[in-house]
Amino acid sequence: MSYQKRRVIVGDKQRHRRLRLLIKKLNKERKKQAKKIDILCNDLIAAQRDFIKRLNTISFAANFYESIIGTIDLSSLLYTAVRLIKEKNTDVNVTFFLRQSDNFELHMFQSEQPIILEKQHLENCFTPELMDNICKSNKVCALDDMFAMGLEGNLIRLNKISAVTIPLGQLGSSIGFILVYCSSENKLTADDVGSISAVTCGLSRAIQSCQGLLYSSD
């Protein structure tokens, strides 16, 4: 084989080698770019999802406040609040625990009239000490928190329940709390709790106004 022919073959091999390295590098860069695009797309999707959640919360709050505005009767106010919460979370039970001078007043509704507390209701597991502890905590409490604060009851039955308490009050002053619970099969989500928490400040003011009118008329 002539020297010139060998040079041509060697040159072709070098070019092929450089071409393979170039293709390998391009593939590596393409994968890196694809990964960056995936991350960016996931971030955009997550941001859009969060934005939609915030819009839903704002929409719920706007509808909630529009529905209770001008209400001066406490029972009507609480019934409307329960109805709106149940419209968003069909399967939940909602009870208001409102602090009185030395005890708590429970408000439960299935219609415009308050309903009687039955033995199987979770509310029967709430002792005055537990209610007071929940108020003092001034935070959203899950079942584990309630157990730590003194909740007692049938553990088998309680394990089938998803429940939270959501504080009512202003500027650190508690006027009570809302108990929201349902079956664990339809577990309450952070979004469910967040939507209710978003309206508790205005709802607390409305409750206090209604209570003030009620006491002044007595």
What is the mean predicted confidence (pLDDT) over 176-203?
A: 90
**Residue range 183-206: average pLDDT?**
90
- Segments in the chain forming alpha helices (H): 3-68, 74-88, 128-137, 143-148, 155-158, 190-197, 200-217
For residue 108, count other CB atoms closer than 10 A to its CB: 18
5 CB-near residues (< 8 Å, 6+ apart): none
Q: Given the structure tokens 């009512």, which residue do they identify?
A: 168
The residue among 199 and 9 whose pLDDT is bigger is 199
> What is the predicted pLDDT for the residue at 22?
76
pLDDT at 193: 92
pLDDT in tens, 156-175: 777 888 999 999 987 778 89
**What is the predicted pLDDT for the residue at 216?**
64
* Total-model pTM: 0.76
Q: For residues 45 and 65, what is the distance between their CA atoms, to the nearest angstrom?
A: 30
Nearest 10 degrees: CA dihedral of 176, 155, 161, 143? 40
What is the overall mean pLDDT for the chain? 83
Q: What is the pLDDT of residues 91-144, one digit of tens each?
A: 888 999 999 888 899 998 875 555 555 555 788 889 999 999 999 999 999 999
Using one digit for the tens of pLDDT, what is the confidence trace for 118-133?
555 788 889 999 999 9
- Per residue in 68-80, pLDDT (tens digit) is 998 889 999 999 9
pLDDT attached to residue 31: 81
